[in-house]
Amino acid sequence: MIMAQNTNFLADFFTISAGIFFLMQFINVVLSTMKTVLTVKANAHVAMLINTATYTFYSGVVKLLTDQPMLVVLATTFITNVIGVYLAMFILKKTRKDVLWKVEVTVPTTETAEIHRCEVPHHYIPVGKYTKFEFFCETQAESKIVKDLVKKHNAKYFVAESKNL
Protein backbone atom coordinates (compact mmCIF):
# COMPACT_ATOMS: atom_id res chain seq x y z
CA MET A 1 0.00 0.00 0.00
CA ILE A 2 2.81 2.45 0.88
CA MET A 3 4.67 1.64 -2.34
CA ALA A 4 1.58 2.46 -4.36
CA GLN A 5 1.40 5.86 -2.66
CA ASN A 6 5.07 6.56 -3.50
CA THR A 7 4.50 5.64 -7.14
CA ASN A 8 1.47 7.92 -7.15
CA PHE A 9 3.55 10.72 -5.64
CA LEU A 10 6.18 10.42 -8.36
CA ALA A 11 3.52 10.29 -11.03
CA ASP A 12 1.81 13.33 -9.49
CA PHE A 13 5.08 15.24 -9.17
CA PHE A 14 6.10 14.85 -12.82
CA THR A 15 3.02 16.30 -14.49
CA ILE A 16 2.81 19.49 -16.53
CA SER A 17 0.53 20.99 -13.89
CA ALA A 18 3.01 20.17 -11.11
CA GLY A 19 5.86 21.56 -13.22
CA ILE A 20 4.03 24.86 -13.72
CA PHE A 21 3.23 24.95 -10.00
CA PHE A 22 6.91 24.30 -9.15
CA LEU A 23 8.09 27.09 -11.45
CA MET A 24 5.53 29.59 -10.13
CA GLN A 25 6.26 28.66 -6.51
CA PHE A 26 9.99 29.09 -7.16
CA ILE A 27 9.44 32.56 -8.64
CA ASN A 28 7.13 33.35 -5.72
CA VAL A 29 9.83 32.42 -3.17
CA VAL A 30 12.44 34.56 -4.94
CA LEU A 31 10.06 37.54 -5.13
CA SER A 32 8.95 37.12 -1.50
CA THR A 33 12.54 37.00 -0.26
CA MET A 34 13.37 40.13 -2.23
CA LYS A 35 10.23 41.76 -0.84
CA THR A 36 11.36 41.05 2.72
CA VAL A 37 14.72 42.70 2.15
CA LEU A 38 13.57 45.58 -0.05
CA THR A 39 10.65 46.56 2.18
CA VAL A 40 13.21 47.42 4.87
CA LYS A 41 16.14 48.67 2.77
CA ALA A 42 14.50 50.43 -0.19
CA ASN A 43 12.31 53.51 -0.49
CA ALA A 44 8.49 53.51 -0.30
CA HIS A 45 8.05 53.37 -4.10
CA VAL A 46 10.20 50.25 -4.47
CA ALA A 47 8.47 48.65 -1.46
CA MET A 48 5.06 49.32 -3.03
CA LEU A 49 6.11 47.82 -6.37
CA ILE A 50 7.63 44.65 -4.90
CA ASN A 51 4.66 44.14 -2.55
CA THR A 52 2.22 44.55 -5.43
CA ALA A 53 4.18 42.08 -7.56
CA THR A 54 4.53 39.44 -4.86
CA TYR A 55 0.92 39.50 -3.65
CA THR A 56 -0.40 39.46 -7.22
CA PHE A 57 1.89 36.60 -8.17
CA TYR A 58 1.02 34.71 -4.98
CA SER A 59 -2.68 34.72 -5.89
CA GLY A 60 -1.77 32.72 -9.01
CA VAL A 61 0.27 30.28 -6.93
CA VAL A 62 -2.67 29.78 -4.55
CA LYS A 63 -4.94 29.01 -7.50
CA LEU A 64 -2.52 26.34 -8.73
CA LEU A 65 -1.94 25.05 -5.19
CA THR A 66 -5.55 23.95 -4.85
CA ASP A 67 -5.15 21.61 -7.84
CA GLN A 68 -2.10 19.75 -6.48
CA PRO A 69 -1.87 16.75 -4.13
CA MET A 70 -0.64 17.61 -0.62
CA LEU A 71 2.70 15.77 -0.98
CA VAL A 72 3.47 17.68 -4.19
CA VAL A 73 2.65 20.98 -2.46
CA LEU A 74 4.84 20.19 0.55
CA ALA A 75 7.80 18.89 -1.47
CA THR A 76 7.60 21.81 -3.91
CA THR A 77 7.38 24.35 -1.10
CA PHE A 78 10.38 22.83 0.68
CA ILE A 79 12.59 22.58 -2.42
CA THR A 80 11.73 26.01 -3.80
CA ASN A 81 12.40 27.68 -0.45
CA VAL A 82 15.76 25.98 0.02
CA ILE A 83 16.93 27.06 -3.45
CA GLY A 84 14.91 30.25 -3.99
CA VAL A 85 16.01 32.13 -0.87
CA TYR A 86 19.68 31.65 -1.77
CA LEU A 87 19.04 32.74 -5.36
CA ALA A 88 17.21 35.88 -4.24
CA MET A 89 19.96 36.82 -1.79
CA PHE A 90 22.60 36.21 -4.50
CA ILE A 91 20.73 38.50 -6.92
CA LEU A 92 20.31 41.21 -4.28
CA LYS A 93 23.99 41.00 -3.36
CA LYS A 94 25.11 41.28 -6.99
CA THR A 95 22.84 44.28 -7.65
CA ARG A 96 23.70 46.12 -4.42
CA LYS A 97 25.26 49.52 -4.98
CA ASP A 98 28.42 50.60 -3.24
CA VAL A 99 27.77 52.81 -0.22
CA LEU A 100 30.06 54.42 2.31
CA TRP A 101 30.62 52.23 5.36
CA LYS A 102 32.43 53.27 8.51
CA VAL A 103 34.12 50.32 10.19
CA GLU A 104 35.48 50.84 13.69
CA VAL A 105 38.11 48.27 14.60
CA THR A 106 39.81 47.80 17.97
CA VAL A 107 43.05 45.80 18.20
CA PRO A 108 45.90 45.50 20.68
CA THR A 109 48.46 48.22 19.96
CA THR A 110 51.10 45.51 19.45
CA GLU A 111 49.24 44.34 16.30
CA THR A 112 48.85 47.66 14.50
CA ALA A 113 51.80 47.70 12.07
CA GLU A 114 50.01 45.84 9.26
CA ILE A 115 46.81 47.77 9.82
CA HIS A 116 48.62 51.12 9.55
CA ARG A 117 49.84 50.04 6.07
CA CYS A 118 46.27 49.36 4.86
CA GLU A 119 45.41 51.44 1.77
CA VAL A 120 41.75 51.91 2.80
CA PRO A 121 41.26 55.47 4.13
CA HIS A 122 41.36 55.47 7.92
CA HIS A 123 42.48 57.24 11.04
CA TYR A 124 43.29 55.89 14.47
CA ILE A 125 43.32 56.71 18.15
CA PRO A 126 45.69 54.93 20.57
CA VAL A 127 43.84 54.10 23.81
CA GLY A 128 46.14 52.49 26.37
CA LYS A 129 47.07 48.99 25.23
CA TYR A 130 44.53 49.14 22.36
CA THR A 131 44.25 51.17 19.17
CA LYS A 132 40.92 52.11 17.64
CA PHE A 133 40.86 52.46 13.85
CA GLU A 134 38.07 54.01 11.82
CA PHE A 135 38.03 52.86 8.20
CA PHE A 136 35.93 54.50 5.51
CA CYS A 137 35.03 51.94 2.84
CA GLU A 138 33.52 53.30 -0.38
CA THR A 139 33.48 50.02 -2.30
CA GLN A 140 32.77 46.37 -1.58
CA ALA A 141 36.42 45.65 -2.40
CA GLU A 142 37.57 48.03 0.36
CA SER A 143 35.07 46.47 2.77
CA LYS A 144 36.54 43.04 2.01
CA ILE A 145 40.08 44.28 2.74
CA VAL A 146 38.98 45.56 6.16
CA LYS A 147 36.94 42.41 6.83
CA ASP A 148 40.02 40.29 6.14
CA LEU A 149 42.09 42.42 8.57
CA VAL A 150 39.41 42.05 11.24
CA LYS A 151 39.43 38.26 10.83
CA LYS A 152 43.22 38.01 10.74
CA HIS A 153 43.63 39.99 13.97
CA ASN A 154 40.49 38.62 15.65
CA ALA A 155 39.54 42.26 16.22
CA LYS A 156 36.45 43.71 17.77
CA TYR A 157 34.54 45.84 15.26
CA PHE A 158 31.45 47.93 14.65
CA VAL A 159 30.01 48.76 11.22
CA ALA A 160 27.75 51.67 10.30
CA GLU A 161 26.25 52.52 6.90
CA SER A 162 26.05 56.14 5.82
CA LYS A 163 22.44 57.18 5.23
CA ASN A 164 20.77 60.28 3.88
CA LEU A 165 18.63 61.97 6.52
Helix boundaries (H) for 14-126 = 16-41, 44-65, 70-95, 113-116
pLDDT score of 3: 46
Q: How many Å apart are CA 151 and CA 148, to the nearest integer? A: 5
Report pTM: 0.59
pLDDT score of 1: 44
CB-CB contact of 21 with 64 (8 Å)? yes
Q: How many Å apart are CA 94 and CA 47, to the nearest integer? A: 19
Q: Is the pLDDT of residue 165 over 70?
A: no
* Total residues found in the chain within this entry: 165
Q: What is the pLDDT of residues 6-38, one digit of tens each?
A: 557 677 778 888 888 899 999 999 999 999 998
Confidence of residue 102 (pLDDT cuts 50, 70, 90): very high
Q: Is the pLDDT of residue 2 over 80?
A: no
Closest CA to 136 of 153, 124, 151, 154: 124
